[in-house]
């Protein structure tokens, strides 16, 4: 499945979304998410507030 990612500001595959979510929640290390996502200022807050974010 594909969805819009507000962190990357583009459509991404759900696995990329999941990887960013795990890092945003501090469950996985930063190296597991795309570097371009980690470089976005406040990426954690953006991800956690995203309507696609799974709780």
pTM: 0.91
Query: In 3D, which of 46, 44, 20 has the Cα closest to residue 34?
Result: 20
Contact 40, 34 (CB under 8 A): no
Q: Which two tokens stand for residue 50?
A: 């995203």
Tell me the pLDDT tens digit for each residue of 1-55.
899 999 999 999 999 999 999 999 999 999 999 999 999 999 999 999 999 877 6
- pLDDT at position 17: 95
């Amino acid at each position: 499945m594909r969805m819009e990612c507000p962190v990357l500001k583009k459509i991404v595959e759900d696995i990329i979304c999941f990887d960013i979510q795990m890092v945003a929640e501090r469950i996985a290390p930063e190296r597991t998410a795309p570097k371009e996502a980690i470089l976005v200022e406040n990426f954690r807050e953006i991800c956690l507030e995203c309507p696609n974010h799974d709780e």
